[in-house]
Structure 1
Amino acid sequence: MGSRWSAVFWTTEDVDTAALDRSLQAAVDRVEQQMTTRRPDSDLERLSAAPIGVWVPIPRELTEVLAAALDIGRRSEGAFDIGVGDLVRAWGFGGCHTPDARGIAGVAGRPSFEPPKTLQLDLAGGRARRLAPLRLDLSGIAKGFGVDELAREMGATGLSCWLVGIDGEMRAEGVKPGGRPWAVAHEKPVPGAREILGVLELSGAAVATSGAYRHRVEVDGRMLSHTMDPRRGAPLENDLASVTVLAGTCMAADAWATALLVAGAVRGPELARRQGLAALFVQTDGEVLEAWP
Structure 2
Amino acid sequence: MKLPVRNWLAPLGLAFLLAACQPAATERPQLHLTGDTMGTYYSVKIVGAEDGQRDALQAEIDRRLERVNEQMSTYRKTSELSRFNRHEDATPFAVSADTARVVTAALQLGRQTEGALDVTVGPLVNLWGFGPDARPTEIPSDERLAEARAQTGLEHLSVHIRAEGEFLQKSLTGLYVDLSAIAKGYGVDVVSEYLSEQGLTNHLVEIGGEVRTRGVNAHGQDWRIAVERPGPGEGMVQQVVALANTSVATSGDYRNYYELDGKRLSHTLDPATGRPITHQLASVTVIHPSCMMADGLATALTVMGTERALAFAEEQGLAVYLLTKTGDGFRVDMSSAFEKYLRG
- Please state which band the TM-score falls in when normalised by the shorter chain: over 0.9
1:123 — aligned with what?
161
- Give distance in 2, aligned partners of 1:113 and 1:73: 13
- Give distance in 2, aligned partners of 1:203 and 1:74: 29
Report the aligned-residue RMSD. Answer: 1.9
Decide which of 224, 234, 244 is 1:183's aligned counterpart. 224
TM-score, with normalisation over the residues of structure 2?
A: 0.80
* 2:161 partner letter: L
- Give distance in 1, aligned partners of 2:146 and 2:276: 11
Unaligned runs of 5+ in 2: 1-37, 338-344
* 1:33 partner letter: E
**CA displacement, residues 161-202 of structure 1 (integer Å, 9 cap, x when unaligned):** 100010100000111233321111202222564532111211
* 2:281 partner letter: L
- Give distance in 2, aligned partners of 1:281 and 1:163: 23
- Is the 1:27–1:149 contact (alpha carbons within 8 Å) kept by the matching residues of 2? yes
Give the 5 Å matches for 1:242-257.
242-257=283-298
Give the 5 Å matches for 1:1-293.
1-13=38-50, 16-99=53-136, 101=139, 105-108=143-146, 110=149, 114-115=153-154, 117-124=155-162, 125-132=165-172, 133-190=174-231, 193-285=234-326, 286-293=330-337
- Give distance in 1, aligned partners of 2:43 and 2:217: 16
- Give distance in 2, aligned partners of 1:227 and 1:253: 16
Stretch deviating more after TM superposition (102-111 or 217-226): 102-111
Q: 1:102 to 1:229 in 2, by over 3 A?
A: closer
- Give distance in 2, aligned partners of 1:275 and 1:16: 41
- Is the 2:123–2:152 contact (alpha carbons within 8 Å) kept by the matching residues of 1? no
Cα drift, residue 222 of structure 1 = 1.3
Cα drift, residue 17 of structure 1 = 2.4
- Give distance in 2, aligned partners of 1:288 and 1:237: 19
**CA displacement, residues 228-286 of structure 1 (integer Å, 9 cap, x when unaligned):** 11011011111200000000010010000001111111100111122221000100221
Cα drift, residue 16 of structure 1 = 2.4
Cα drift, residue 85 of structure 1 = 0.7
What SS does structure 2 have at the residue aligned with 1:9?
strand
- Give distance in 2, aligned partners of 1:137 and 1:259: 14
* 2:112 partner letter: R
Stretch deviating more after TM superposition (33-42 or 15-24): 15-24
Cα drift, residue 99 of structure 1 = 1.6
Percent identity between matched residues is 38
- Give distance in 1, aligned partners of 2:52 and 2:143: 56
What SS does structure 2 have at the residue aligned with 1:79?
coil
**CA displacement, residues 45-72 of structure 1 (integer Å, 9 cap, x when unaligned):** 1111101312110011110000000000
